């Protein structure tokens, strides 16, 4: 189960992805933006662009947006995806876009999506596109800063693929194709298993550091209101509330683009590792920007029965919302 908003893509938006020819202008890019209008229950096509500069000129510092970028020179077979959520956005909008993102990506088609990132500033777009592109360079001396970051990530992956067979095996998502693949970063848990850690602690925070996914904090709390998330950098947090486990991915606004890409592309693989290798099942997977955006109600349930009751209530509410009530029947006038 995952954190979903019940909002889906409008068909006119999905139709745009059915065929995506190169722009008539001869531009290197095709850029598609989508938004969730106020009081709407669907994601709609916002606008299309041919250049990054055109897009950046239109971005609002308080309006979230989904951005799909196809680079015909570097990655003609996929769209890179940006969830653009400015710091000034209303908290409700931040939560709505975060909880709807996975649904939209599934509808568009995960096979069409390349790199992903959560960005908060328009100025970060160019750096993300540069990093997402796969442009080989002959020497380090002529690499741009973003290209050096990409090279560093790829070098880390190659080193880990070489030594991975000798390590305590853990598979994560490959940075290159965003699908489950050979280990990019080793998972380090000093105890025999994560269950051993959870026996003493019900909050465990992970960080990707020095080519490892490792535990950086652990604690035991008595209620969800006491949960404290890392604010300095992206992190993965496992919270055990009674019989239920919750996975929380946070990506604070001050995080570097490189960190955002690494955590976003490895999130799915790390969850699969926890499910397959550590036998953890998650009641909800929650993605947020700032830690304070976490709604306590999302992690307040502690038994499967409570979750089932919640889902049943949501389904009933959806049925009432979409079943338009019939007006009262009027009496026929007599002639």
189-223 pLDDT, tens per residue? 878 889 899 999 999 999 998 878 999 999 999 99
**Structure token digits, residue 289:** 């920007």
Tokens 């442009």 sit on residue: 135
Give the residues across from 67 on adjacent strands: 33, 82
Integer Cα distance of 45 and 108 in angstroms: 12
pLDDT given at position 149: 56
At 154 the pLDDT is 55
pLDDT at residue 324, as a whole number: 52
Mean pLDDT, the chain, integer: 79
Summarize pLDDT for 6-57 with one digit per residue, the tens: 789 999 999 988 866 665 666 789 999 999 998 778 999 999 999 999 999 9
Residue 245's pLDDT is what?
A: 95
Percentage of the chain exceeding pLDDT 90 = 34
Instruction: Map out the domains of the chain with their CATH numbers.
Output: 8-134 (3.40.20.10), 160-304 (3.40.20.10)
- Tell me how far CA of residue 87 lies from CA of 123, 200, 248, 254, in angstroms: 13, 36, 19, 10
Q: Is the entire prediction scored with pTM above 0.75?
A: no
Query: Judging by DSSP bridges, how do beta strands 235-241 and 244-250 pair with one another?
Result: antiparallel
pLDDT of residue 210: 80
Residue bearing the bigger pLDDT, 4 or 51 = 51
3-state helix, strand, coil in the chain (%, to 5): 35, 25, 40
- Please check whether residue 256 is in contact with residue 208, taking contact to mean a CB–CB distance below 8 angstroms: no
Other CB atoms within a 10 A radius of the CB of residue 325 amount to: 6
Distance CA 256, CA 124 (A): 9
Give how far the C-alpha of residue 36 lies from the chain's centroid of Cα atoms, to the nearest Å.
Answer: 17
Q: Which residues contact 307 (CB under 8 A, 6 or more apart)?
A: 1, 244, 283, 301
pLDDT of 146 above 80: no
pLDDT band at 319; cut points 50, 70, 90: low
Instruction: Give the pLDDT score at 179.
Output: 42
């Amino acid at each position: 189960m995952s954190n979903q908003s019940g909002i889906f893509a409008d068909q006119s938006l999905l139709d745009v992805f059915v065929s995506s020819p190169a722009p008539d202008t001869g531009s290197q890019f095709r850029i598609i933006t989508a938004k969730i209008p106020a009081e709407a229950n669907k994601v709609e096509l916002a606008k299309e662009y041919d250049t990054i500069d055109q897009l950046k000129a239109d971005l609002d510092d308080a309006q979230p947006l989904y951005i799909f970028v196809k680079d015909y020179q570097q990655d003609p077979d996929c769209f890179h995806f940006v969830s653009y959520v400015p710091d000034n956005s209303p908290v409700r909008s931040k939560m709505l876009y975060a909880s709807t993102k996975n649904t939209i990506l599934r509808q568009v088609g995960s096979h069409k999506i390349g790199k992903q990132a959560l960005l908060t500033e328009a100025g970060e777009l160019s750096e993300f596109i540069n990093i997402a592109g796969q442009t080989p360079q002959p020497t380090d001396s002529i690499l741009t800063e973003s290209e050096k970051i990409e090279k560093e990530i790829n070098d880390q992956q190659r080193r880990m693929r070489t030594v991975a067979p000798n390590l305590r095996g853990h598979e994560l998502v490959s940075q290159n194709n965003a699908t489950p693949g050979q280990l990019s970063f080793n998972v380090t848990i000093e105890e025999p298993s994560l269950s051993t850690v959870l026996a003493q602690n019900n909050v465990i925070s992970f960080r990707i550091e020095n080519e490892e996914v490792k535990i950086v904090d652990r604690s035991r709390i008595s209620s969800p209101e006491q949960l404290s998330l890392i604010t300095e950098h992206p992190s993965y947090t496992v919270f055990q509330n009674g019989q239920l486990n919750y996975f929380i991915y946070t990506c604070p606004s001050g995080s570097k683009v490189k960190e955002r890409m690494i955590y976003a592309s490895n999130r799915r693989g790390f969850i699969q590792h926890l499910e397959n290798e550590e036998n953890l099942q998650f009641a909800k997977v929650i993605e947020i920007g700032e830690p304070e955006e976490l709604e306590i109600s999302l992690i307040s349930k502690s038994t499967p029965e409570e979750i089932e009751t919640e889902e049943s209530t949501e389904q009933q509410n959806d049925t009432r919302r979409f079943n338009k009530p019939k007006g009262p029947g009027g009496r026929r006038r007599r002639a």
